[in-house]
A and B are shown apart, each in its own frame.
Chain A
Amino acid sequence: MATLIHRPDGPLADGAVQLSSTTPVLSGGRIGVLDNGKPNARLLLTRAAEGLAGRIGGHLATVTGKGAGANAATACTSQVLETLSKEVELVLTGSAD
């Protein structure tokens, strides 16, 4: 017999998944690396960024950590995010274990 039940997931928070608009063309773009604190993340992400920069004619503009007191398990400081948003068009981050 057909029955109505409640969905288990509930609504999403306002703006929860709003991402910034993507850069339509990366050619010549500035690339940043955000080291998330995992082992070898800086090395891996920097190599990837350099490779990408070579393919799109861009350049690696900055390599940074998450900020004072932050680590792989905590959020990046807002100061670092603001700086990145001004200095680069693309950020590589998120190396796992």
Chain B
Amino acid sequence: MGDNAAVDDYQGLVEVADQGPEGLYEYFSERGWGDGLPLVAPTHERVEESLSHADGDPDEPVAILSPRDGVATRRAVAVNAVLAGCRPEYLPVVLTAVRALGHQQVNLRGVNATTHPVAPLSIVHGEVVDALGFNAGLGAFGPGTRANATVGRAVRLVLLHVAGARPGPGDASTQGQPSKYTYCVAENSAESPWEPYHRSVGVEAPSAVTVHCGENPHNFHDMESDRIERILDKAASAMATFGVNNACISGGEWFIGLCPEHAAVADGDGWGRADVAAYLFEHARRPASEFRAQFDRLAWADWMRTADDEALLPMTQEPGNIRVFVTGGPGKHSCVIPSWGMTRSVTLPVAG
């Protein structure tokens, strides 16, 4: 370590006395940068190598990110991808996720300003999953795979640095959540009975990324059922809780991450993705009176607001808000991923 005095120039280059792990860590910490974990030095050579996998002008904005109103240029995103430990060829996936975060319906200002623990989940679809070595199988949400770990981390570093979403001045989350470090998973198309998720939402591309701003996954398990209704009843029970924002914000989405074995049961019963969503819409319900007893304010659709107390109301206002994809490996654990609420997912084709 040494005296890491900064020498700013117009290209955003600074001089550090020590680019080793401890020197870089100290330099970043002093400036309020970083996520608390060791970083890879974003040298000019590494950033240029990363940018060689992007298509456009390195200094062209791909998104403007709130609350800092930072310009996420390809170069800025590449810098954070290097810091996160991404291989250079991951950059188009990170760029696509960042591009999605810039869409108005994500409401990134709200995502970062809220006291809710929300984090953007990047779901990677299509050919790029195998091509870049994403783990869509056993432990898909967990550690051990560079692509999942570093792409999710790169997105978070972009939020910390470019969007200014630092806990406190830029991120008001009361407790935070572990997925604010990294949150990236891949769709297991090889073991999904249905078309890839991105095609189901009209994105006709070989590869795509979906960004959903929500909570950590909530597990549900069913080890024994051979009927999809009995499996989805567990999902419905995990959804029908008052502790999630979906309970008081009816426009919020749910992402349902079915494991391949649960998805196979659905397929064996002749169910498609829309059937799963429709079932959960009908069965993840609580009486209107219970919602009203729990909340003073309900951001509900009009038809829910006027329902009788005895009416069973859903955990989102329409079945289309329940979005189903397949991920994970052998076993019978699936998950539901609640939304922050005032945000919509975005799916974009992978592009550099």
Cβ–Cβ contact A2 & B12, under 8 A: no
CB neighbours of B24 from chain A (8 A) = 5
Binary flags per residue of B4-48, CB closer than 8 Å to A gives 1, else 0? 000010011111111100001000100001000000011110010
CB neighbours of B241 from chain A (8 A) = none
CB neighbours of B61 from chain A (8 A) = 13
Which residue of A4, A73, A96 is within 8 Å of B43 (Cβ)? Answer: A4
Residue A82 lies at the interface, judged by CB distance under 8 Å to chain B: no
Residue B52 lies at the interface, judged by CB distance under 8 Å to chain A: no
On chain B, the number of residues with a Cβ less than 8 Å from chain A's Cβ atoms is 47
Cβ–Cβ contact B161 & A9, under 8 A: yes
A73 to B343: give the CA distance in the assembly, Å. 9
Q: Closest approach, in angstroms, between the C-beta of B256 and any C-beta of chain A? A: 23
Residue B157 lies at the interface, judged by CB distance under 8 Å to chain A: yes
On chain A, the number of residues with a Cβ less than 8 Å from chain B's Cβ atoms is 22
Closest 8 CB pairs of A and B: A16-B69, A10-B76, A73-B342, A8-B161, A73-B110, A6-B79, A7-B12, A3-B19
Given contacts A5-B24, A13-B71, 5 further A-B contacts (CB under 8 A): A2-B15, A4-B15, A6-B14, A6-B47, A16-B68
* Residues in B lying within 8 Å of A, measured CB to CB: 8, 11-19, 24, 28, 33, 41-44, 47, 61, 64, 68-73, 75-76, 79-80, 83, 107, 109-110, 114-115, 157, 161-162, 164, 172, 174, 296-297, 299, 341-342
* Residues in A lying within 8 Å of B, measured CB to CB: 1-13, 16-17, 39, 71, 73-75, 96-97
